[in-house]
Each structure stands twice: as C-alpha cells, then as structure tokens.
C-alpha cells in the first residue's frame, strides 16, 4: 500500500513536472515567437521607412525631372514659335519676291501669247529697259496721263527741261511675221502691204499725242524693238518695186521711228544737253555771284573806301600832331627826363635804423 502511494505520488509528481515543463516550454515558445514577431515587425518597419525614404527621394528626383522637362518644353515651344515666325516671314518675303519676279517675267511670258499682244508688251518692256538703263528713271514718265487722248495714252514720255517727248512702242508684229514667213512673191507683196498699212495707222495713232499746248514737243517717236524692222519700215524707199509711204508719212505727221540702236545717240544727246544745261545754270549762278561781288566792290570803292581813307588821314594827322615839337609825346618825354634827373640828384633815403645811426650829426 505504501509502495502504491509512493508510485502514485511519483506519478503525480512526474505528471505535474511534465505539465510544468510543458507550460514553461510553451511560454518559452510563445516568448520566442513574440520576439520573432517583434523582430519581424521592427524589420518590416525599417523596410517601410527605407521604402518611404526611397520613395521620397524618387519623388524629389521625379519632380526635378518634371521641372527640367517643363523648362525644356517651354524652351522648345519658344523655339518652335520663333521658327514659325521666321518661316512666316520667309514665306511672305518669298511670296513677295515671286510676285515681283512674276511681274518681271510677265512681258517675257506674254511673248508666247497672241503675236499682236506679244509684240506690244515685248516692245514696251524693251523700251522701258532702255529708258531706265540708258537715260535714267527720273528722265521719263510711264503712261503720262496728262497726254491721254480719251482711253488711249502714249506708252512713255521723255522729260526735257521745258517739254515732253511722246514715244510709243506698239508695232504690228503679226503682220511683220507673216511678211517674213511668206514664201512666194504674191504672198510677200500682200503681207508687206498689210504690214505697211498697219505701220501707217500706228504712226497716225502716235501723232495724236503731239500737243505743244499740253507741254509736248512738235514731234513724237514710235519705237520698233528690232533694228531690221526699223530698216525695212523707215529707211527703205522702195519695197517690191513699190514706193514705201512710211518715211513720207513720218515727215508729214512729225512722227519719227527709232530702234534700240538709233535710240543710243538720241539718249546721249539728251544727256549731253541736260548736262550742258546744268553747266549753263551753274555758270549763270557764278555770274550772278560775280555781279553781286562787283556791286559790293563798287560800293566799297565809292563810299566805304572814301570814309576809310578820311579816317586814315585823320589818324595820320593826329599822330603827326602828337609826335611834333609841341605834341603830347615830346612833352611826356621831357617830363620823364626831368623826373629822371631829379631822382639822380636827390640823396638816397636810408634803408634802416643802422644807416640812420651811421649818418654824422652836424655840430651845434
């Protein structure tokens, strides 16, 4: 019985000890688990803080990059705007230059249109080029309205000092081309007559611009843009055994033909005359200055010189009077000489006390 109780007591002790050990083991495990959990939480907290700091750094870097890209975008927008403005300006300039070039090429392009219009515009363009380059822009007028006859107006007018010289540039190019291209004698005669008659009508049209009352000369010029046409039309007396009426008509109407070659001496004479006129005006101005100088010189010799000569004579007389025996100059010289003699005869004044003591006293 006693052994049984001992065994039971031992069993109870073993069970209690095992439970206590198990409880302690569980507590140790729980403590270890809590420590591991705290370590894990601390690690997680550290990682979160690290991630937050990294995120903040990345956000700052991203903000800096965005600012940089914003500045870059602004600069690009400014450059694009500047480029757009430059391109717009260049486009406008190019459009203007193309327009100017189109205006310059218009007479040349017009050559490929109808022969009549081509001859008119080509002749006008060539005449204007000759006037501009050989005479000068200030010495001619294009389409002078003061010489207009209804809807018609002469192409150009050369400016002389007191009048205008009308010069027209239209010519029958179609008739001339048909005449040149004619192959047989009959066609040549017919086309020549057509060209001749049209040329006469053109001379008559140009003659109506002659109006001395409106400030023109008593003659006019009709310009032919080809020297061969000029020779055939204005120099030949007979063509195809027929009398050429164009030279006689020019003499009657005072309308004379000219060509690029024959205009050169005309322009030279005009420029020479204008230069001589300017020289004459300069000489006239110089002569006027000389006349004015002569008037001034005559006035000087007539009145001013007499007055000046009188003043000089009075001055000479006065100088002679001053320098005479009884003049002020001699009296002044005598007075100075007397003062000098007196200063030499008068005893010198003692300079100081020592010299005063050195002077011998006279005995009483």
Q: Is residue 131 part of a domain?
A: yes
Residue 225 backbone phi and psi in degrees, to 5: -75, 15
Give residue 245's domain range: 118-258
- pTM score above 0.85: no
Per-residue pLDDT of 104-149, as tens digits, reads: 545 444 443 434 434 446 778 888 888 888 887 788 888 888 888 8
Q: Collect the ranges in the chain with pLDDT lower than 50.
A: 105, 107-120, 349, 351-353, 356-357, 359, 361-364
Question: In whole angstroms, how far apart are CA 165 and each of 95, 105, 144, 219, 337?
Answer: 37, 28, 11, 7, 94
Cβ atoms of 146 and 279 within 8 Å: the answer is no
pLDDT tens across 295-325, in order? 766 665 566 666 777 777 777 777 666 666 6
Q: So what's the pLDDT on residue 85? A: 82
In a domain, 98, yes or no: no
Quick check: is 29 in a domain?
no
The neighbour count for residue 296, using CB atoms within 10 Å, is: 11
In a domain, 35, yes or no: no
Do the domain assignments include residue 123? Answer: yes
Give bridge partners of residue 185 from the DSSP assignment.
Answer: none
Nearest residue to 226 (alpha-carbon basis) of 130, 112, 123, 157: 123
Residue 188 lies in a domain: yes
Q: What value does the mean pLDDT of the chain take?
A: 75
What is the reported pLDDT for 224?
86
SS3 assignment, position 171: coil
Residue 225 within a domain: yes
How many structural domains is the chain composed of? 1
Inside any domain, residue 350: no
C-alpha distances out from residue 206 to 135, 149, 200, 212, 280, Å: 21, 10, 10, 14, 33
């Amino acid at each position: 019985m006693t052994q049984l109780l001992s065994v039971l007591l031992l069993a109870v002790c073993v069970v209690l000890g095992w439970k206590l050990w198990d409880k302690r083991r569980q507590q140790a495990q729980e403590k270890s688990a809590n420590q591991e959990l705290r370590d894990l939480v601390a690690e997680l907290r550290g990682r979160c803080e690290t991630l937050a700091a990294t995120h903040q750094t990345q956000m700052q870097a991203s903000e800096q990059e965005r600012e940089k890209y914003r500045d870059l975008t602004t600069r690009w927008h400014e450059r694009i705007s500047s480029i757009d403005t430059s391109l717009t300006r260049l486009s406008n300039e190019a459009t203007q230059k193309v327009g100017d070039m189109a205006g310059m090429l218009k007479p040349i392009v017009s050559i490929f249109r109808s022969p009549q219009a081509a001859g008119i515009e080509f002749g006008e363009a060539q005449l204007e080029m000759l006037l501009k380059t050989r005479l000068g822009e200030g010495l001619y007028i294009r389409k002078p309205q003061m010489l207009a006859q209804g809807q018609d107006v002469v192409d150009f007018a050369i400016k002389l000092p007191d009048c205008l010289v009308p010069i027209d540039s239209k010519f029958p190019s179609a008739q001339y081309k048909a005449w040149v291209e004619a192959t047989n004698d009959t066609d040549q005669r017919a086309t020549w007559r057509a060209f001749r008659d049209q040329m006469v009508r053109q001379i008559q049209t140009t003659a109506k611009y002659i109006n001395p009352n409106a400030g023109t000369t008593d003659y006019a010029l009709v310009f032919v843009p080809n020297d061969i046409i000029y020779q055939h039309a204005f120099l030949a007396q007979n063509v195809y055994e027929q009398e050429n009426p164009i030279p006689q008509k020019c003499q009657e109407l005072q309308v004379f033909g000219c060509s690029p070659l024959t205009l050169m001496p005309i322009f030279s004479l005009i420029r020479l005359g204008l230069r001589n006129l300017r020289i004459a005006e300069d000489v006239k101005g110089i002569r006027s200055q000389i006349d004015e100088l002569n008037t001034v010189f005559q006035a000087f010799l007539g009145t001013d010189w007499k007055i000046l000569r009188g003043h000089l004579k009075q001055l000479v007389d006065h100088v002679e009077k001053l320098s005479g025996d009884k003049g002020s100059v001699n009296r002044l010289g005598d007075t100075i000489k007397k003062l000098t003699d007196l200063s030499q005869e008068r005893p010198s004044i003692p300079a100081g006390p020592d010299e005063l003591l050195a002077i011998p006293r006279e005995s009483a």
